[in-house]
């Protein structure tokens, strides 16, 4: 029998509420726990993510999907950007606090999964796009993470923030990101840049990749229009310590691996199917 629970957590320092859901299948055997982090302008129930959760639950994991607290949605409106002020105030520090809160919750007495169903000492991180970036950052700081996988991962933030853009952004104090799906202009305060550079020693993703002790798998599509796979390949080639990192490419896959929002098809897109099978094999074997 497959079970589903939803909980609301409170940010440890910023205090904002965010929603987490948990999917698992009753087997009376302890299963690894996957923490999934959505990407920029994303949320835990975007597109194919609920079906992805079902897949991993069916394959004997406890699957934990989280909404980052400042992603623009709220517990009251989990799939609509009803709080753009919160979105504007997001920082990497807040996202990392959210993830640590979820990992702490998994290992607490409050996890609504029976102890004979969840192996809370086997926690795997999984993220998409910028969610993969913060999953990697968290994994470089938390030895409790046993494996980490990134889908279409952003691994070089600074190349995406050229100097001329940062100058204008700083002068204006806020930059607006168009959301073509909703028609909203989503504000981002310059605070996120200041937060990054204040913590650059910890938040520089190539350096974090080298510090991670757990096995890492990065999966990228050759047709990724948002994070070209060549960017990731170039970063990995420069690393001095990359023996623990695997890089897999899916030919012709785009940034969302064929998905869209809303997604109402009964089957997952072909590229998403390929990706989740790769991920499952990696989480099972480390290869």
Phi, psi angles (nearest 5°) of residue 282: -65, -45
- Chain Cα centroid distance, residue 197: 21
Q: Average pLDDT in the 146-160 region? A: 96
User: The domain containing residue 51 runs over which residues?
Assistant: 2-162+202-285
Short-list 249, 251, 195, 284, CA closest to 14: 195
For residue 187, being part of any structural domain is answered with no
Q: Tell me the pLDDT band of 14, cut-offs 50, 70 and 90.
A: confident
At residue 287, does pLDDT exceed 90? no
Angle made by CA atoms 92, 101, 6, in degrees to the nearest 5? 115
Mean pLDDT computed over every residue of the chain: 96
For residue 172, being part of any structural domain is answered with no
For residue 196, being part of any structural domain is answered with no
pLDDT in tens, 93-111: 999 999 999 999 999 999 9
**Domain of residue 121, CATH code:** 3.40.50.1820
pLDDT in tens, 114-149: 999 999 999 999 999 999 999 999 999 999 999 999
pLDDT in tens, 214-269: 999 999 999 999 999 999 999 999 999 999 999 999 999 999 999 999 999 999 99
SS3 19: strand
For residue 222, being part of any structural domain is answered with yes
For residue 194, being part of any structural domain is answered with no
The domain total for the chain is 1
For residue 177, being part of any structural domain is answered with no
**DSSP string across 185-234:** EEEEETHHHHHHHHTHHHH-HHHHHHH--S-EEEEEETT-SSS-HHHHHH
- Give residue 267's pLDDT: 97
Share of the chain above pLDDT 90, in %: 95
- Give residue 13's pLDDT: 79
For residue 129, being part of any structural domain is answered with yes
At residue 12, does pLDDT exceed 80? no
For residue 52, being part of any structural domain is answered with yes
């Amino acid at each position: 029998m497959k079970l589903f629970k939803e909980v609301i957590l409170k940010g440890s320092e910023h205090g904002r509420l965010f929603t987490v859901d948990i999917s698992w299948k009753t087997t009376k055997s302890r299963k690894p726990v996957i923490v999934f982090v959505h990407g920029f302008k994303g949320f835990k129930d975007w597109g194919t993510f609920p079906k992805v959760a079902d897949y991993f639950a069916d394959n004997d994991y406890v699957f934990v999907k989280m909404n980052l607290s400042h992603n623009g949605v709220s517990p009251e409106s989990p799939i609509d950007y009803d709080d753009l002020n919160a979105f504007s105030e997001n920082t990497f520090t807040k996202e990392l606090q959210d993830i640590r809160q979820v990992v702490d919750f998994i290992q607490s007495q409050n996890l609504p999964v029976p102890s004979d169903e969840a192996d809370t000492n086997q926690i795997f991180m999984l993220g998409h796009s910028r969610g993969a970036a913060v999953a990697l950052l968290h994994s470089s700081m938390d030895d409790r993470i046993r494996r980490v996988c990134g889908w279409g991962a952003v691994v070089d933030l600074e190349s995406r923030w050229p100097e001329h853009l940062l100058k204008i952004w700083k002068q204006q104090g806020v930059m607006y990101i168009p959301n073509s799906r909703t028609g909203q202009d989503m504000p981002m305060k310059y605070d996120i840049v200041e937060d990054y550079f204040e913590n650059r020693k910890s938040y520089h993703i190539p350096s974090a990749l080298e510090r991670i002790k757990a096995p890492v798998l990065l999966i990228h599509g050759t047709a990724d229009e948002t994070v070209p796979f060549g960017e990731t390949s170039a970063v990995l080639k420069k690393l001095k310590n990359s023996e623990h990192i695997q890089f897999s490419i899916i030919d012709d896959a785009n940034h969302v691996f064929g998905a869209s929002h809303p997604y109402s098809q009964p089957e997952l897109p072909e590229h998403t199917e390929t990706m989740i099978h790769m991920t499952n094999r990696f989480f099972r074997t480390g290869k």
